[in-house]
Amino acid sequence: MDLLTWIIVGLVAGVLAGLVVGGVGLIGDIVVGIVGAFVGGWLFRQLGVTTPFSGLAGTIFTAFIGAVVLLVLLHVIHRSRRGGRRL
């Protein structure tokens, strides 16, 4: 994939994950989506599963799952640094 495709996949997956979990801004969501593609790919390989879609849709799905996992971890880390209290 070329750079533009990675950015588009990151944008779509990051924005969708941000809607589900809570985003970190447009640029942050793009970065989370791109990193999420790697996290999702690694996670799917470790679990021995494949995407239910092929091509670009499968890549976006994998990136979305990875971005959701990444955002959840980021929110947990951020919450623990604040002392775990919500006001």
pLDDT digit of tens for each residue in the chain (87 aa)? Answer: 677 888 888 889 999 999 999 888 888 888 888 898 889 989 999 999 988 888 889 989 999 999 999 999 988 888 877 765 554
Residue 57 belongs to some domain of the structure? yes
Residue 60 belongs to some domain of the structure? yes
Residue 75's domain comprises 31-80
Q: How many domains does the chain have?
A: 1
Residue for token pair 């799952």: 65
Task: Please give the model's pTM, rounded to 2 decimal places.
Answer: 0.83
Give residue 7's pLDDT.
82
Give residue 1's pLDDT.
66
Residue 11 belongs to some domain of the structure? no
Give residue 2's pLDDT.
78
| Residue 2 identity (one-letter amino acid) | D
Give residue 67's pLDDT.
93
Contacts (Cβ under 8 Å, ≥6 apart) of 60: 9, 12, 13
